[in-house]
């Protein structure tokens, strides 16, 4: 995690340091650089950063990558799709033909809103989840992560509130933090966001004079919770947000990856003018292309295009045309079906291994997506335990990554999308050994206050799981 350094006295006085710098600059025949007020020995520009930069922190997931990618470590941490399941030879041939026949277009600048042909195909993809949109409603972005950034940029002022599920996607929390938003969590259970508590949360914030700008949700196969908002709750949640004048930000990268093949209607389908829908090809095709999209009401869409042009000029033509070619020439729906079967097998391996090796914990049983959310036995701290787990050659993401207030220490996210079933079983076996050792230490020395969350965040997390032995 990036250290937030406080200004400290330099080793030499400012006058001496500036004189020395001026002498060196004069000797080099150039003007002396201006000193930045409030600089430190580690970062001379510390005092020059914008206020929002001081709240930036490294992602706990990204920080794990260097360790988790070591071959001897079984990584149950990252949410990387299993790309070896793709028809790579076919994709390679189609990309080569694309460059040979349309390279001058693919390698050129493009539209700030995105390629029109791809936007038409995106409309067809969304139709599977009940979204009725026009290609003009679609803004192509550099992954849905950029769409998150753009929406937050055009709506959120410092101090505005974003209501998010508890727990919530770490990448979204990072975006909200970077724009100095206040994140207020609202709990989920096995059926997703709880409408009654959401209503109470919004009412309480209004009474406190808070400005709530966004309700951020992952409705399908939640990251990290693994649960989905039930069919009965979806229109109720949209109605609550509408009555309170809050825009819904629906983040849906996993919606087509339900293991039973069924898709739920998008929240956007209930109230298109009150919901911004975010989609991505990262989970159903390939994250390396970095192509996502947003569907927004007309006026909002125009702001998104302007914000995107200011940020990147235009999304990659080459990536867009490669995905458009894939959608037009390959059986992409058949490929999604294969992914569903592959990830279901891995989910079953994960749940079976947890039941066999870690019955003292509890966890969700996802019906799709990439993740299960595990609650550790009483008294254990997933973040404190992580170095011992890495030493035992297994990695996970501590639950604290998924709360704006640092709650969730008694939880961890386990990902089953990338490792093979055998690797998953071995990883859980190693993890169980670490947990067993931690429990022994807790018995000897006491819990020391390292246990569960306090307040609503802890209650939300507890509501999500079913007991481990019952899931065997």
pLDDT digits 0-9 by tens, 121-131: 999 999 999 99
Enumerate the β-bridge partners of residue 166: 187
Least confident interval from 62-66, 163-167, 287-291, 403-407: 62-66
CB 231 within 8 A of CB 264: yes
Q: CA nearest 397: which of 377, 413, 376?
A: 413
Confidence class for position 68, pLDDT limits 50, 70, 90: low
Confidence class for position 65, pLDDT limits 50, 70, 90: low
What interhelical angle do 233-243 and 195-207 show, nearest 10?
A: 10
Residue 458 has pLDDT above 50, yes or no: no
Least confident interval from 73-87, 148-162, 250-264: 73-87
Distance of CA 211 to the CA centre of its chain: 24
49 Cβ neighbours under 8 A, 6+ residues apart = none
- What's the average model confidence in pLDDT over 111-137? 96
Q: CA nearest 123: which of 136, 141, 135, 109?
A: 135
pLDDT of 425 reads: 98
Residue 21 has pLDDT above 80, yes or no: no
Residues 184-214 pLDDT 10s: 999 999 999 999 999 999 999 999 999 999 9
Vertex 398: Cα angle to 394 and 403 (nearest 5): 160
pLDDT of 61 reads: 63
Confidence class for position 63, pLDDT limits 50, 70, 90: low
- Please write down the HEC assignment for all residues of 252-295: CCCCCCECCCCCCCCHHHCCHHHEEEEEECCCCCCHHHCCEEEE
- What's the average model confidence in pLDDT over 415-432? 97
pLDDT of 237 reads: 98
pLDDT of 445 reads: 77
CB 28 within 8 A of CB 14: no
pLDDT of 467 reads: 34
pLDDT of 10 reads: 38
Confidence class for position 62, pLDDT limits 50, 70, 90: low
Residue spans of alpha helices (H) in 130-268: 143-155, 170-178, 195-207, 233-243
Residue 453 has pLDDT above 80, yes or no: no
Determine the longest span between alpha carbons in the chain, in angstroms. Answer: 76
- What's the average model confidence in pLDDT over 62-78? 77
């Amino acid at each position: 995690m990036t250290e937030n350094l406080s200004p400290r006295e330099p080793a030499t006085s400012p006058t001496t340091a500036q004189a020395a710098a001026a002498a060196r600059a004069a000797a080099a025949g150039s003007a002396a650089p201006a000193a930045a007020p409030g600089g430190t020995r580690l970062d001379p520009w510390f005092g020059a950063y914008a206020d929002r930069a001081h709240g930036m922190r490294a992602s706990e997931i990204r920080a794990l990558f260097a360790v988790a990618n070591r071959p001897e470590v079984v990584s149950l941490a990252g949410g990387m799709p299993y790309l070896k399941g793709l028809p790579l030879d076919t994709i390679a041939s189609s990309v080569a033909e694309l460059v040979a026949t349309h390279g001058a277009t693919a390698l050129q600048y493009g539209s700030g809103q995105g390629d029109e042909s791809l936007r038409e195909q995106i409309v067809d993809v969304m139709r599977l989840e009940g979204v009725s949109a026009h290609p003009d409603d679609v803004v192509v972005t550099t992954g849905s992560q950029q769409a998150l950034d753009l929406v937050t940029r055009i709506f959120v002022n410092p101090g505005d509130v974003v209501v998010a599920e508890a727990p919530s996607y770490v990448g979204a929390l990072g975006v909200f933090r970077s724009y100095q938003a206040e994140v207020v969590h609202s709990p989920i259970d096995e059926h997703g966001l709880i409408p009654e508590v959401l209503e109470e949360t919004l009412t309480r914030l209004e009474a406190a004079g808070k400005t709530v700008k966004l309700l951020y949700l992952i409705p399908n196969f939640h990251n990290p919770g693994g649960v989905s908002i039930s069919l009965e709750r979806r229109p109720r949640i949209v109605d609550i947000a509408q009555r309170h004048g809050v825009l819904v930000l629906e983040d849906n990268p996993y919606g087509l990856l339900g293991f039973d093949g069924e898709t739920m209607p998008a929240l956007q389908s209930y109230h298109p003018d009150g919901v911004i829908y975010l989609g991505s090809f990262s989970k159903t095709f390939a994250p390396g292309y970095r192509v996502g999209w947003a569907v927004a009401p007309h006026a909002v869409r125009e702001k998104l295009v302007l914000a995107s042009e200011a940020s990147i000029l235009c999304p990659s033509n080459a990536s867009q045309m490669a995905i458009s070619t894939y959608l037009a020439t390959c059986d992409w729906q058949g490929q999604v079906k294969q992914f569903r079967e592959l990830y279901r097998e891995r989910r079953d391996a994960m749940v079976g291994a947890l039941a066999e090796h870690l019955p003292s914990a509890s966890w969700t049983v996802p019906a799709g997506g990439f993740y299960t959310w595990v609650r550790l036995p009483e008294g254990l701290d997933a973040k404190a335990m992580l170095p011992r787990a890495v030493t035992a050659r297994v990695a996970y993401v501590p639950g604290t990554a998924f709360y704006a207030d640092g709650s969730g220490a008694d939880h961890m996210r386990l990902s089953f999308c990338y490792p093979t079933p055998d690797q998953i079983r071995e990883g859980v076996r190693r993890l169980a050994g670490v947990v067993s050792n931690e429990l022994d230490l807790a018995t000897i020395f006491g819990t020391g206050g390292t246990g569960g969350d306090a307040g609503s965040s802890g209650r939300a997390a507890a509501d999500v799981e079913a007991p481990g032995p019952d899931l065997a």
